[in-house]
Amino acid sequence: MLVAGALTAPSPLNIQPWLIRFPAPGRIDLFIDPDRILPALDPYFRQILISHGAFLENLDIAARSCGIRTDITAFPAGWPGARLDLADPVARIDITDDRAVENDPLAAALSLRCTNRRLYRDTAISQDTLTHLSDAYDQCFIPMGLLSDRGSRLAIAGFLERATVVELAGEERFRELRSFLAATHPEPRVDGYGLPHLGLSPLFRFGARLRMALLTEERRDAFLKETLIRLARQQAATAAVYGWITTTGNLRIEQLNAGRAFERVALTSASLGLSLQPMNQILSDCPGMEDLRHELYDFLSIPETRTIQMFFRIGYAARVPHTSRRPAESIIR
């Protein structure tokens, strides 16, 4: 049950890069699955580690609801530097029965949280709701910023559209993205996502599948890129609020903790009936993105000494289907 709850965590392209082992009774070691990484899109494992932080947060929340206390040690083999050794655990979790452990109110949101890529409604989010979001976690060294005024949102939408163009310009990055996107037909799979999860209308999805089935591979790729860029433009333009989470630097432990903080924001959003979508393309380390990222930092008045770990939009939208998850036993070694 604990693993199943943790598996609802988000991950880039829904790759679910988690692997766990049970080295001793009452102990769980969490690793990066070397077969589930993104060498082109996430060469430094930053997004992968953020997703492991989200996994840990979910695991702790699920454990509390079962009367279990967790003692989480990050990087028990020693704090890594720029290079990660995938043979070392990201975290060690010692679990003990403790009926006095305090239940986390976000437990009910574990089954609700879902990345929503639909176009958001033109509905403002109240200040009380934004305050509730701001109180989603208490890590003072990992602050969250929120921005809702229309002029600033339009400017950020422009940044994000340009960032999507840059990210998709690399053929290796595009092939990696496409490998986790069932775009031409609804393939049953336990990872990645398909057209229904992109936020496209049913009519457009039908037309897109039909068109791609008739196109050559080269034209199909061009059409898919055009669709993703247009969708990113529309998604960005309909954000009611933009949010971001920053850390003092960019240490591995900061990336992990940022993932825990972001998951609490995402779960809180779900519990409040809000939709949320990470829009991290502008944070990518791909060539050509650095100048655009500097522009965003300047626009948001974020000093270069800090690191934006997550950037996301929030609003109200109709629900979308949950992406699939691998069975819990598939991540256990």
Tens-digit pLDDT profile for residues 189-218? 899 988 778 887 777 777 877 777 788 878
As a whole number of angstroms, the distance between CA 58 and CA 76 comes to 20
Contact call for residues 283 and 296 (beta carbons, < 8 A): no
Amino acid 183: pLDDT: 63
DSSP 115: B
Amino acid 188: pLDDT: 67
Amino acid 82: pLDDT: 82
User: Which residues is 94 bridged to in the sheet?
Assistant: 27, 71
Amino acid 271: pLDDT: 98
Question: How far is residue 163 from each of residues 29, 61, 88, 275, 315, measured CA to CA in Å?
Answer: 36, 34, 33, 22, 21
One-letter amino acid at 65 equals S
Neighbours of 207 (CB within 10 A): 12
Neighbours of 246 (CB within 10 A): 21
User: Which residues is 329 bridged to in the sheet?
Assistant: none
As a whole number of angstroms, the distance between CA 245 and CA 243 comes to 7
Per-residue tokens: 150? 């229309």
E strands in the chain:
18-24, 27-32, 68-74, 91-97, 144-147, 181-182, 193-194, 241-247, 275-278, 307-315
- pLDDT < 50 stretches in the chain: none
Amino acid 48: pLDDT: 98
Q: 55-89: string of b/e by CB count within 10 Å (b at 16+)?
A: bbbbbbbbbbbeebbbebebbeeeebeeebeeeeb
Q: 266-287: string of b/e by CB count within 10 Å (b at 16+)?
A: bbbbbbbebbbbbbbbbbbebe
The candidate with the shortest Cα–Cα distance to 321, out of 226, 178, 186, 160, is 186
Domains detected in the chain: 2-112+323-331 (3.40.109.10), 127-315 (3.40.109.10)
